[in-house]
Amino acid sequence: MELKDIINPNNLVYEKPKLLTENTMHYCPGCSHGVVHKLLAEVIEDLDIQDKTIGVSPVGCAVFAYNYIEIDWQEAAHGRAPAVATGIARTNPDKVVFTYQGDGDLASIGAAEILHACNRGENMVVIFVNNGIYGMTGGQMAPTTLIGQVTATTPNGRDVGRNGYPLKITELIAQLPGTSYVTRQSVHTPATIRKCKKALAKAFQAAIDKKGTSFVEVVSTCNMNWKMTPVKANEWMVDNMFPFYQPGDLKDSSKTDPESYTPLKN
């Protein structure tokens, strides 16, 4: 059989999701964001919720996410996406709202907003792309930067005495009673990508079912600022990020039952 006979619409098994726009992504070659965007488009398409999904993309590399997926978007200030999403979700209870945040955005400048939105159990999906570095501003230390990791502002490696410890914010989030599903995924192999897609689908289904906050961390690479090839960056992530940020579900239940709290004495 010749190539031209195989390349035929009847034999199609994988194509670009329809919800992805024709715009070329601004991300660096091999960036994990592109894969997560693709999964997001596929999940929204599969659940057929494009007419009621509103995305919030705050400052960071994904600030331009609105250029790539054919849904309504709001761009938010640095760290404030969970507050913006709260405003949308509270006044639009029939819509599906998600934020798409990086580690500097979510775990540093927006730490208060994410903790309180998750603690209130706002009905939304949080997609947290954690690559341990500030990508857009040129590779400075993030709250999630590993001890010893070299960045533009820790040229000799992150030093605990000077910079404090890397923050496992997802573990913190999992403690909060408003969250129902908290998971840590990655997108570095075909198998993990398929698994991450399932996690995203579950998170969006939870939002449709009004189960409170679902939180999907995607441990990712930033090969450009890690100063590695994309392939090497994936290996580095597996060797260094995974021991500290272990993939897997941290919580898979429902919002905490208010009845479980001790009632007031009078």
Partner 1 sequence: MAKVIGAVVVDNEECKGCGLCVVACPQDVLAQNKQVNSRGYHYSFMKNPEACIGCSNCATVCPDTCITVYRVKI
Partner 2 sequence: MGELRLMKGNEVIAEAAIRCGCDAYFGYPITPQSEVMETLMDREPWDETGMVVLQAESEIASIHMIYGAAASGKKVITSSSSPGISLMAEGISYIAGAELPCVIVNVQRGGPGLGTIQPSQADYFQSTKGGGHGDYRLIVLAPSSVQEMNDFVELGFQLAFKYRNPAMILTDGVIGQMMEKVVLAEYIPRLTDEEINEKYGSWATNGRKANRQRNIITSLEMDSGRMEKNNIRLQEKYTKMEEEEVLFEEFSCEDADYLLVAFGSSSRICQKAVDLAREKGIKVGLLRPITLFPFPKKPIAALAKQVKGMLVVEMNAGQMVEDVQLAAGCAIPVKHFGRMGGIIPSPGEVVEALEQKLIGG
Which residues of the shown chain bind partner 1 in the complex (CB under 8 A)?
A: 1, 3, 5-8, 11-17, 20, 24-25, 27-35, 38, 187-190, 193-194, 229-231, 234
Encode 75-84: b = buried (16+ Cβ within 10 Å), e = exposed. bbebbbbbbb
Given partner 1, partner 2, none, residue 48, with its beta carbon under 5 to 8 Å by kind, binds: none
Q: Per rule CB under 8 A, is residue 231 in the interface with partner 2?
A: no
Given partner 2, partner 1, none, residue 15, with its beta carbon under 5 to 8 Å by kind, binds: partner 1
Q: Per rule CB under 8 A, is residue 63 in the interface with partner 2?
A: yes
Residue 226 near residue 236, CB atoms below 8 Å: yes
Distances in Å between the alpha carbon of 202 and those of 40, 46, 141, 153, 213?
12, 12, 32, 37, 12
Q: Per rule CB under 8 A, is residue 23 in the interface with partner 2?
A: no
Q: Per rule CB under 8 A, is residue 116 in the interface with partner 2?
A: yes
Q: Per rule CB under 8 A, is residue 28 in the interface with partner 2?
A: no
Total residues found in the chain within this entry: 266
121 is written with which tokens? 């159990």
Residue among 45, 104, 97, 38 at smallest CA distance from 65: 38
Given partner 1, partner 2, none, residue 228, with its beta carbon under 5 to 8 Å by kind, binds: none
Given partner 1, partner 2, none, residue 112, with its beta carbon under 5 to 8 Å by kind, binds: partner 2
Query: Would you say 15 or 51 has its CB closer to partner 1?
Result: 15
Question: Cα 32–211–100 angle (5° rounding)?
Answer: 25
Residue 151, strand partner residues:
154
Q: Per rule CB under 8 A, is residue 72 in the interface with partner 2?
A: yes
